[in-house]
Structure 1
């Protein structure tokens, strides 16, 4: 007997492996944002490192190897520190503007990805809007983590409910199939019994007709 398919399909649930790609994108934008926020430190340090890399070989050639990488590093480091102290205001301003721009771009990008990939997080999670405001201010990564964490918790409960209901439906279907099989077997046995009784009745009727024919012949 062919089994009947369960009409209720499995729910579409979100897992951490599914959210990992969005979290990775959010982490990249957060790293860039905090890099620009710390540009007052990284800017002079990178400039000093670039200066040392470019001038060490030239300085060694000009001084016949007497002065080299250490001297270039010391000079460039001193110059970088001086430039950093003098230009700290413009550097901080530039870093803040770039951090806001990168953060907003990351917020838009991650929101678009989530909307196209997992639109349910905007429709079923009442706290998504709060997490979105948090992402604009502090961290896109924390925003994505909070949104997916709430949705995954909800989906875990939904999946467990589906599995319980599906197991109960399968058990009920199994019982119905067993009952139908038993009814079919009982009907078959009844048909066989009726056929046997009919054959027996026909045989008895034939036995009763034979003596009468013999009497008529006599």
Structure 2
């Protein structure tokens, strides 16, 4: 007898149960419907998204640190690390430029917000300053100086990714310079920490459909 073909509802249920993309897509549709039909109730659900964002921000710094340190320590030598760093810098510049071009094109072609008839001059500057902290774009010198950490723990406590990245590069380069014979237990410990962080990422991402909703 030919194998039985699972019914459509079972296949749909299986996809929803196993595919995170399908769960997020369904949550997005449900979120739009709830926001449209019951806007007051939808506003009360904002803490779900805020909580997910907090969890994501919590794991970004240790994840970046472990991945970069392990990647540099396994590069082979300092020359290889330099070549990899140069290629990464070039790719970052190219990707950033491409993102800026796409953003400029989208803003000029689509013109988001043009139908809202809002005059920026009438906006409450106090509310804007409260949202942005009254900040301004730093100069190149300020950006470089601020990317240098003042303490090892402070970079993680402040969740400053540029500072964490600088620390990761320094630690990875030091492990590469010392070799695995002088510090044989450091790299395996960081790799084990990386596995733990990846597991935490998996746990947090299971909440993505709730956050999207």
Which TM class, normalised by the smaller chain length?
under 0.3
Q: TM-score, normalised by structure 2?
A: 0.24
More helix by share: 1
* Greater relative contact order (Cα < 8 A, sep 6+): 2
